[in-house]
C-alpha cells in the first residue's frame, strides 16, 4: 500500500474482493443484447489462463452497466456491517443507492431493482482460477453474484427509498472476504467517473495491477493481447476495429482522470497488443485537499491532478491566499482559474495581497481585474 493510500484509509477505506474484480464478471458494455445473455470466454491475463461461463436470465440479461456500482457497494456494506455470520445484510434501497454513488431518484430505484435481479439471477462457473486464499490454492467455483435478494415493504416492482432489501452473498465470496483476500478500492473515485463502462474498466484495470498470489504487490504497466482483452471485458466481438472503437471513449476518460498515462497498440489485426501505463490513481489524492480545491471553484479532474502534483501544505496555503484575494475584492474572470494559478504561481499572488495591505490598509482591491 502506498503512503497516500495509508494516509487516506480513514476517508476512503473501501475494498474489492480480488477474485470478483480480476475475473471481471460484469460486462464493460453499457447495454447488452440477447447475444450477451449466455457466454463462455477463454483468455490469458498476466500469464494466467481464464475460463469463465455465464448464464443469465432472459428477463433481465447478464450483468452490465450500474451492476459494477451496485456490486461494489454491496461488498463494502457487507464488510462495514461486520461480515454477518449468515452472509446476509439488510439495507434500505436509499442506503444502497447512496453507497453505490448513484443519484437518488425514481428511475434509479427502478434500475436498482433490475440490477439486483440480474446479479441474483446470473450464474457463473469459474474453472481453476478461483483463489482459495485461506488454503493458498487455486480451485473452481460455481455461484451467483448474489445468492439471494428479498424485498420487504412494498412489492418488489415498487422499490422506493423505504424499501428494505435483504441481500445474501455467495459462500465462496464471503469466505474469501473473511480470509482477507481483498484489495484497496478507491470507491469515491470510481463513482466519480462519468460512465458505467469507464467504472467497470477502471475496476478491472485496478485489479490487474496486483499479483493474485501476493495482492500487496502492484505493477506500473500492463500488457495484454487485444483479443484476450476483448474477452476479459465481455465485448463479444472478434473485430479489432470494433473493440478499439468501443474502448476509445473509456480510455480517454481514464487518461483524462489520471488513471492511465497512456494506452498503446502494437501489431496488426487480431495479433495486436494493448499496453496500459498506469498513472498515480493507485495513490489517490487526499479527498480533503480535493474538496478544498473544488470549493474554490476548480473542477474535480483538475483538483485531483493538482492534489497529486503539489503537497498538501502548498495547496492549503494557496487556498488561504485565494480566499484572501477574493476577500480583498480581487475580481477574477474565473474563480477556479484564479485558484489554479495561485497554486502554480504563489509568489506572484502573494505580492498582490501584500500590496493591498501596504497601499490600501483595510480597503479592498475592488475594481482590479484578473489578467
Query: What are the tens digits of pLDDT across the range 269-316?
Result: 999 999 999 986 545 667 788 889 999 999 887 887 788 777 787 898
Contacts of 191 (CB under 8 A, 6+ apart): 69, 100, 101, 199
Pairing of strands 273-278, 148-152: unpaired
Burial class of 37 by CB neighbour count within 10 A (0 to 12, 13 to 18, 19+): middle
Nearest to 51 by CA among 142, 118, 182: 142
Q: Tell me how far apart the alpha carbons of residues 27 and 198 are, in angstroms, rounded to a whole number.
A: 11
Q: How far apart are CA 206 and CA 224, in angstroms?
A: 14
Over the range 63-72, which residues count as b (16 or more CB within 10 Å of their CB) and which as e? bbbbbbbbbb
Average pLDDT across the chain, whole number? 86
Q: Tens digit of pLDDT for each residue in 119-153?
A: 999 999 999 999 999 999 999 999 999 999 998 86
* φ and ψ of 96, to 5 deg: -70, -45
- What average pLDDT does this structure show over 339-357? 74
Residue with cell 482590479: 368
Give the pairing of strands 123-132 and 48-55: antiparallel
pLDDT of 240: 97
Full DSSP string of 185-203: --HHHHHHSSSHHHHHHHH
Q: How many CB atoms lie within 10 A of CB 9?
A: 11
* Backbone φ and ψ of 282, nearest 5°: -65, -25
Enter the DSSP assignment of 271. G
Contact 12, 23 (CB under 8 A): no
Name beta bridge partners: 52: 41, 126
- Which of 54-68, 92-106, 301-315, 318-332 has the least mean pLDDT? 301-315
CA angle (259 as vertex; 256, 307 as ends), nearest 5: 80
Enumerate residues 6+ apart whose C-beta is below 8 A from 217: 210, 211
The answer for 224, left when phi > 0, alpha when psi is -120 to 50, beta otherwise, is beta
CA distance 198 to 247: 9
* Structure confidence at residue 366 (pLDDT): 39
SS3 of 41, please? strand
* C-beta of residue 132 within 8 angstroms of C-beta of residue 122: no
pLDDT digits (tens, 9 = 90+) for 30-82: 888 888 999 999 999 988 999 999 999 898 999 999 999 999 999 999 999 99
Backbone angles phi, psi at 103, to 5 degrees: -60, 140
Q: Which three cell numbers stand for residue 127?
A: 474453472
Residues contacting residue 366 through CB under 8 Å, at least 6 positions apart:
329, 331
pLDDT > 90: what percent of the chain? 59
Question: What is d(CA 283, CA 221) in angstroms, rounded to the nearest whole number?
Answer: 15
Say if CB 96 and CB 70 are below 8 A apart: yes
User: Exposed (0-12), middle (13-18) or buried (19+): which is 61, by Cβ within 10 Å?
Assistant: buried
pTM: 0.73
Kind and range of the H or E run holding 349: helix 346-360
What phi and psi, each to the nearest 5 degrees, are found at residue 220? -100, -15
**Whole-angstrom Cα distance, residue 150 to residue 34?**
26
Q: What local confidence, expressed as pLDDT, does residue 290 receive?
A: 87
Residues forming a β-bridge with 126: 52, 141
CA distance 174 to 152: 23
The pLDDT assigned to 72 comes to 97
Q: Which residues pair with 61 in a beta bridge?
A: 57
pLDDT exceeds cutoff 70 at 249: yes
Among 206-215, 255-264, 322-331, 346-355, the range scoring the smallest mean pLDDT is 346-355
Amino acid at each position: 500500500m502506498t503512503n497516500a493510500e495509508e494516509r487516506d484509509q480513514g476517508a476512503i477505506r473501501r475494498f474489492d474482493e480480488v477474485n470478483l474484480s480480476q475475473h471481471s464478471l460484469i460486462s464493460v458494455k453499457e447495454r447488452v443484447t440477447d447475444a450477451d445473455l449466455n457466454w463462455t470466454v477463454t483468455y490469458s491475463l498476466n500469464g494466467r489462463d481464464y475460463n469463465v461461463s455465464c448464464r443469465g436470465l432472459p428477463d433481465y440479461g447478464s450483468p452490465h452497466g450500474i451492476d459494477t456500482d451496485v456490486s461494489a457497494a454491496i461488498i463494502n456494506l457487507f464488510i462495514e456491517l461486520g461480515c454477518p455470520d449468515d452472509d446476509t445484510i439488510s439495507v434500505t434501497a436509499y442506503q444502497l443507492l447512496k453507497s453505490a454513488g448513484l443519484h437518488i431518484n425514481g428511475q434509479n430505484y427502478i434500475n436498482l431493482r433490475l440490477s439486483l435481479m440480474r446479479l441474483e439471477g446470473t450464474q457463473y462457473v469459474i474453472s481453476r482460477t478461483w483463489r482459495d486464499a485461506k488454503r493458498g490454492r487455486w480451485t473452481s467455483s460455481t455461484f451467483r453474484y448474489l445468492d439471494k435478494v428479498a424485498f420487504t415493504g412494498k412489492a418488489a416492482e415498487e422499490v422506493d427509498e423505504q424499501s428494505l432489501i435483504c441481500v445474501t452473498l455467495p459462500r465462496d465470496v464471503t469466505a474469501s472476504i473473511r480470509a482477507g483476500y481483498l484489495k484497496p478500492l478507491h470507491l469515491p473515485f470510481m463513482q466519480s467517473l462519468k460512465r458505467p463502462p469507464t467504472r467497470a474498466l477502471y475496476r478491472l484495470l485496478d485489479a490487474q495491477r496486483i499479483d493474485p498470489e501476493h495482492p500487496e504487490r502492484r505493477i506500473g504497466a500492463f500488457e495484454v493481447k487485444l483479443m484476450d482483452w476483448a474477452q476479459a471485458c465481455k465485448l463479444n466481438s472478434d473485430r479489432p476495429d470494433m473493440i478499439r472503437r468501443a474502448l476509445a471513449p473509456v480510455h480517454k476518460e481514464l487518461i483524462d482522470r489520471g488513471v492511465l498515462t497512456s494506452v498503446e497498440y502494437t501489431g496488426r489485426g487480431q495479433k495486436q497488443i494493448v499496453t496500459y501505463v498506469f498513472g498515480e490513481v493507485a495513490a489517490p489524492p487526499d479527498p480533503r485537499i480535493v474538496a478544498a480545491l473544488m470549493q474554490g471553484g476548480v473542477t474535480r479532474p483538475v483538483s485531483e491532478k493538482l492534489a497529486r502534483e503539489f503537497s498538501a501544505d502548498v495547496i492549503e496555503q494557496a487556498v488561504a491566499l485565494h480566499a484572501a484575494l477574493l476577500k480583498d475584492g480581487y475580481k477574477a474572470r474565473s474563480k477556479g482559474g484564479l485558484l489554479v494559478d495561485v497554486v502554480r504561481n504563489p509568489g506572484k499572488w502573494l505580492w498582490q495581497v501584500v500590496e493591498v495591505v501596504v497601499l490600501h490598509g483595510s480597503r479592498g482591491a475592488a475594481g482590479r481585474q484578473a489578467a
